[in-house]
């Protein structure tokens, strides 16, 4: 828990500093001050509202024991086993099998599953997946993953803002300095996430999920199925917002290039091997 707070603080400080540098290049000292204020405000906003933004981005709909008793009661039972407060439960209308957890702490957490994963997995396998997501909640991974997803998108937006409003010279031609900034912002955003999100986080959630569900083999089987099908079924929201990919149980992105910067998941084969080693 303490380590995640340190990572979160470093990430937030890095965001403010980066905003200040970009603001200074775009608008001098005044631009730097404005960007620093904006960066600080963005951090505060991200802390309180980034989870809601991600859920809205994926058009997730909240369910309860009346609207989706199957998923809701499954999560309720697992949360009780894990000693966690009952999180909010959401369903995302996407064919790709995937799931994620979000929120700033266990008391304000949410778990989301796609309709694709609910159709594809058996009840036992889905329990393993939702237990994995609750392990992220228990390990307090969700704050840093949600904040990093939202601020990475904001960094790119800042660069675009500079291109349109501060990035042209007296003859209305693109300022080459700002053009260079725009080109490097997406990789920087990706590197920030790589620094903030350790791949060991997924191994920890796999182990924790297996312990919560009491069934490591079920999660291993689920990961194998998700990996086999997710690559061939696009998730358009994730493709449009690749910074959110690291929140998912499986990388939802289909392409390479810059999207590879956001690939923060370890290999599925290694994850499955570690889970199956828990059985023996």
Annotated binding site for Zn(2+): 132, 136, 202
* Feature table: binding site: 132, 136, 202
133 is catalytic: yes
Three-state secondary structure readout of 124-158: HHHHHHHHHHHHHHHCCCHHHHHHHHHHHHHHHHH
Instruction: Look at residues 251, 275, 280 and name the one whose alpha carbon lies nearest to residue 131.
Output: 275
Q: Which of 94, 123, 125, 133 is catalytic?
A: 133
Q: What is the DSSP string of the chain?
A: -HHHHHHHHHHHHHHHHHHHHHHHHHHHHHHHHHHHHHHHHHHHHHHHHHHHHHHHHTT-EEE-TTT-HHHHHHHHHHHHHHT-PPPEEEEE--SS--EEEEESSGGGEEEEEEHHHHHHS-HHHHHHHHHHHHHHHHTT-HHHHHHHHHHHHHHHHHHHHIIIII-B-TTSPBPHHHHHHHHHHHHHHHHHHHHHS-THHHHHHHHHHHHHHT-HHHHHHHHHHHHHHHTTS--HHHHH-GGGGGGBSS------GGGGGG--PPPHHHHHHHHHHHH-
Q: Catalytic residue numbers?
A: 133
């Amino acid at each position: 828990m303490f380590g995640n707070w340190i990572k979160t603080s470093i990430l937030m400080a890095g965001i403010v500093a980066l905003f200040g540098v970009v603001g200074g290049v775009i608008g001098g000292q005044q631009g730097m001050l404005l960007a620093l204020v904006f960066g600080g405000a963005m951090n505060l906003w991200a802390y309180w509202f980034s989870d809601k933004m991600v859920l809205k981005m994926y058009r997730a709909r909240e369910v309860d024991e009346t609207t989706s008793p199957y998923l809701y009661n499954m999560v309720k039972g697992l949360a009780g086993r894990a000693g966690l407060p009952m999180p909010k439960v959401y369903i995302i209308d996407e064919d790709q099998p995937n799931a994620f957890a979000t929120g700033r702490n266990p008391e304000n957490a949410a778990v989301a599953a796609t309709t694709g994963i609910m159709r594809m997995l058996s009840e036992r396998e889905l329990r393993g997946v939702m237990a994995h997501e609750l392990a992220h909640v228990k390990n307090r991974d969700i704050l840093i993953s949600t904040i990093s997803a939202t601020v990475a998108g904001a960094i790119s937006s800042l660069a675009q803002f500079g291109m349109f409003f501060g990035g042209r010279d007296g003859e209305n031609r693109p300022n080459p300095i700002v053009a260079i900034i725009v080109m490097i912002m997406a990789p920087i955003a990706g590197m920030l996430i790589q620094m903030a999100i350790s791949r060991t986080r997924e191994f920890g959630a796999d182990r924790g999920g297996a312990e919560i569900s009491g069934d490591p083999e079920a999660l291993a089987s689920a990961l194998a199925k998700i990996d086999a099908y997710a690559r061939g079924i696009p998730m358009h929201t994730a493709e449009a917002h690749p910074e959110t990919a690291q929140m998912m149980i499986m990388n939802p992105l289909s392409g390479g290039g810059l999207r590879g910067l956001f690939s923060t998941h370890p290999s599925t084969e290694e994850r499955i091997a570690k889970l199956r080693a828990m059985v023996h």
